[in-house]
Amino acid sequence: MRKYLLIISFLFFKTFIYSQDFIKSDTLKSESEVYRTSHISMGNSGLTKYFKILTCDSSDFKKIELEIINCYTKHKLEYTEFYIICIPNYIKLQSNKETDILMKFINKIDAERMNLNLSTALIKLKYDFKNNKFEYYLDEPKKDLIEFKDYKLNIKPNEVCMFLRR
């Protein structure tokens, strides 16, 4: 009986465990190159925790982190999870290598989020006419990077808040 009570209380308080602000730095290796990554979690939200992905140049990496935190504290944002990858001189999807880097990053994010029972990029967008915005649902896997709208390539520090607010 005590064991069941412990399991039930763990499941009940599970959302509070994931509602703590943190910044986690990591790396992603792709074809003998190493890319710096960062995961910023800001928020008291449910288990969905929508997220955005940003790529930036190495010189702007720390500035982007600070801009995300500042924007989140100044404005009420729908998104509470932010992932950054530092890819030097990366402007648009020009080659298979660049697409592979971004897809590896998205797959890494998905693996991490699946372990935490959070929503993943393996989602499909639907338009909610009632609320006039796009929403996600989890019953169909994402098949192509083009379908994933919540990323910004080679973002500059002055563009961060505007991107996060839309």
Residues 6+ apart with CB under 8 A from 14: 47, 117
Note the pLDDT of residue 112: 82
Q: Residue 93: is its pLDDT beyond 80?
A: no
Which residue in 120, 118, 119, 122 sits closest to 142, CA to CA? 122
Q: DSSP string of 111-154?
A: HHHHHTT---SS-EEEEETTTTEEEEESSS----GGG--SEESS
Please give the sequence-ordered ranges of beta strands (E in DSSP) within the chain, or none if there are none.
22-30, 33-41, 51-56, 81-86, 124-128, 133-137, 151-152
pLDDT tens for each residue of 48-88: 667 888 888 888 999 999 999 999 889 878 778 889 998 87
Q: For a pLDDT cut of 90, what percent of the chain falls above it?
A: 10
Give backbone dihedrals phi and psi of 50, rounded to 5 degrees, phi first.
-60, 155
pLDDT digits (tens, 9 = 90+) for 123-164: 445 545 565 555 554 444 555 555 556 667 778 899 999 888
- The rounded distance, in Å, linking the Cα atoms of 121 and 107 is 8
